[in-house]
A = this chain, B = another copy of it.
Amino acid sequence: MEVAASASEVPVTILAAKVDFYNGVTVDSTTLPHDASSFDSVLSASLEHWKKEGKRGVWLGIPIALSHLIPTAAKHGFVFHSAEPASVMMTRWLPDNETCLLPDGASHTVGVGGFVYNAEKRELLVIREKYIPTGMAPFYKLPGGYVKAGEALGLAAEREVEEETGIKAEFQGIITFSSVLTAAAATTLRHMHPHLFSNSDIYFVALLKPLSFATSRQEEEIEEVLWMPIDEYRTHPSVNAVNQRIASLFVESLGQGRPALGLETIELTSDWMKAKTFHDLYTFCNTDAKGN
C-alpha cells in the first residue's frame, strides 16, 4: 500500500497499482494486505478513488496463498478472468453506464502435430499414446502436443516430436490446420473435457524433415513409436478421418508443386510501449510442397 498523491485535498490510502495504456489499473499483488478486513477497507477506498479519477478497468491478481481475500473481492464486484496454477486474475469494470470492454482471457488451446516424413522410404512417423480413454481402441496419431504460450509453432513441433519419439527433425512449414469446432461440436466437447469448460482447440500440422531415424519412446506417455508407410496410414482403420485426410492431401501434393505455408517474421517496434514484438506470418508460397 502507498499514500497516493490524489487530486482531492486529503491523501487517501489506496492499493499500490500501475495505470496501463488504456487507463486501466493493475494492482501490485505483492503489496496486498494479508488480513481480509484490512483488504476490505483499502479495496473500498481504492475503488472510490479510481472511479473519481475516471479509471476504467481494474485488474487484481490474487496469489493462491492469499485466496482467503477472494470472497472480499467478489463482494466488491470482481469476477474471475483467467488463472495460472498459483494465482487467479480477477477484474472489475468501473464505468457504470458503459459496456465492459475488458479483453477476454485465453479461450483456446493450441496443438501442433509433427508430420515427419521420410521421403526416401515414403514413411511417416506415428505414435500410439499410453493413456487413451477407457473403452477406446488404440489409434495411431502424429507425435505432438500443446503449444506453450509464447512459443513459435515450428519450435513446438520440433520439441514435441523429439520428446515423444527421440527423432530430431527440422521444421519446414505449416501444411494445414483444423479449427475445432462449430458451436454444435463445442457443446459436445464440453462433455468430453469438462475441465476445459467450453474452450476450443486449434490444431496445426507442421511438416518436419527428419534428421535422425532411430526412435526412442517417451515411456511416460507413449506406448509405441513407429515409421509407417504413408499409403498405409491413409487408410489404416486405427487412424482417424482427419489424419487420414491430411496424409492423403500430402501424398496427392507430392511432386505437383502444391503449396505449403511459408514463414516470414515481421518485427514491429512500438514507440508508445518502447518494445518490440515479433509476428510469425505464415504466407502462401508456390514452391514445392517440400518433404521431397
Contacts and interface: CB of A to CB of B under 8 A. Distances in A.
Interface in A7-32: 18, 20-24, 26
A192 B278 contact: no
How many copies of this protein are present in the complex? 2
B197 A82 contact: yes
Interface residues of A, number: 112
A88 B241 CA distance: 35
B278 A182 contact: yes
Contacts of A286: 258-259
Interface string A210-238: 00000000001100000000000000000
6 contacts: A82-B83, A88-B88, A89-B197, A99-B220, A102-B195, A133-B272
Interface of A: 18, 20-24, 26, 59, 64-65, 67-68, 70-71, 74, 79-89, 91, 98-99, 101-110, 131, 133-136, 146-153, 175-189, 191-200, 202-203, 220-221, 240-242, 245-246, 249, 253, 258-261, 264-268, 270-273, 275-284, 286
Closest 4 CB pairs of A and B: A150-B186, A21-B133, A80-B83, A106-B106
